[in-house]
Every structure is written in C-alpha cells, then in structure tokens.
Structure 1
C-alpha cells in the first residue's frame, strides 16, 4: 500500500517540510491552480507568490505561503518545492494576506524597474539626438576622450 506523496519544501536556509504521507496537494502557477495526487506525471513549473496546501493521511490540512519558487513532481511520488522564503501555518487567511503583500511588493518592484528602464532609454535617445545634430562629432571641447580625430 502506498504511503502517499513525499513532500519537501526547502529554502536556501532551511528545510521547512519533509513528510511522506501526503494524500493530495494543491498549488498554483501562472496558468492557474492544479492538484497533485500519488501517481501524478512528472512536472516542473514555476510558482508565483502563493499558498500551497496539502492533506495528510490523517485528514489534516496544512498550508505554506511561498514567495514563489520551483515546483517539481518526480516519479509520481515525490513533490519538491524550492523557494526563497516560506512560512508554514494553519491560518489560511493570514497566509493569504501575506501572499497578497508579497504580490503587491513584486508588482511595485516591476513598475519601478520599468520606469527606470524607460528613463535610461529616453536618456540614450537624447544622447543619440545630440550626437546626430552635431554632425556626428562626439560631444566635448576638443580635448580628452571625446576628441574627434581629423579626417584623412
């Protein structure tokens, strides 16, 4: 008789979970939520900040809030999740609130990165326009690293 799935959840700093009596597991990736039962096909996917939940053989349900990570099913009996940060808990509402805060912070960081990228792009275009308007002469006063060489 099968003992169920082995579930391992680890961060770089520590092993959060290592149990081998998981009856079922639910997670979500960018395509949506999915379930895993013993005998599941091999799978490798990336998890966004989310809550993973599993039911053990005794019927208890546990939760883990993840900051995102890599999810792998191997051999139909082993589920491994590698993440930067994770928190195990029984209070689903608190864990969901933590995930929403992580997602919000991730979106904010993405927005800031796009703004900075746009700013750098605009600066590069302004530099290019100055160069073209000067007739292809590098900026500067004729001395130093931007000195134009005399044409032959």
Structure 2
C-alpha cells in the first residue's frame, strides 16, 4: 500500500476512512503544515480549521474541523479526532464555517474569563471579610484620642 491512511472521527461518527492519500495539510497554533508518506511520528492539537488532503486519484478534499487532535503513526497513518467535522467540496464555504466556529470559541473563551474573574473577585472579598481584624469591644479610637490612657488630663 502506498500513500497515507487518513481517518477523521467525531464522538458520534467516522467521517473519513481513506487509504492511498497522497498528502495532508493541516493547521495548528504554530501555523500550517503538510504531511507526506513517511512522515515522522507526530501529534498536535488542531484549532477550528480546514483540513485538506489529496486522494489517490489526485482530487482535493476538505473537512472543516471544530478543534481536535491529529496524530501520525508509522509514517503511514494520519488520524484526526475532532469534536465536530463538516465535509465539503467548497473551500470558501468551509472557511466561512470555520470563521463562525472560531468566533463561537472566542466568545466562549471570553465568557469563561469573565466568570473566572467574577469567581476570583468573590473569593478575594470573602478572604478580606474573614481576615479583617475585629474591632475592639471597648471604646472607639476617637474616645482614646480625647482621653488617652495613662491620664494625659490634669
């Protein structure tokens, strides 16, 4: 068998199980990269992006991914496990879909940061209330100022 064996899976389905793949192109946080037969062992996290591959017949295929994990084993097997994937032939439509996914992920990240900040502020307030020194039960500081201990008045 020449070429790569490409599988793309989601938790609910097997999207692609293709042999003889000539090349795979993907994108991680460091940028775009390509995989050819004989590639070294490799693992990376994929953000929302479009995965591209060239079939044994030379056709170019696409899959929009909602983040995932890509692994290369033995220089012959490329496996992608993703949350969600959409197969299609129109690269521009899939790229628009990915932009929508990225915007949704950015919005979710923003909401999580706001919630973390809210929880942090609440924890700090609770600590301040717990650690705040208790006021003495006796006279106030103003009373001490008028009549200092030790009889400053004659």
TM over 0.5, shorter chain: yes
Partner SS state of residue 35, structure 1? strand
Structure 1: distance between partners of 2:85 and 2:68: 9
Partner SS state of residue 26, structure 1? strand
Structure 1: distance between partners of 2:134 and 2:126: 13
Structure 2: distance between partners of 1:129 and 1:9: 51
Structure 2: distance between partners of 1:78 and 1:13: 21
Cα RMSD after superposing both structures: 1.3
* Aligned residue in 2 for 1:8: 7
Structure 2: distance between partners of 1:135 and 1:120: 25
* Aligned residue in 1 for 2:145: none
* Aligned residue in 2 for 1:36: 35
Partner SS state of residue 70, structure 1? strand
Task: Identify unmatched segments of 5+ residues in structure 2.
Answer: 136-154
The question of 1:129 aligning with 2:105 is answered no
Q: Give the ranges of 4+ consecutive aligned residues of structure 1 lying more than 6 Å apart after TM superposition.
A: none
* Aligned residue in 2 for 1:113: 112
Which of the two has higher C-alpha Rg? 2
Q: Could you tell me how far 1:134 is from its partner in structure 2?
A: 4.8
| Correspondences of 1:1-152 after superposition (within 5 Å) | 2-135=1-134
Structure 1: distance between partners of 2:98 and 2:108: 15
Task: Identify unmatched segments of 5+ residues in structure 1.
Answer: 137-152
Size of the aligned set, in residue pairs, is 135
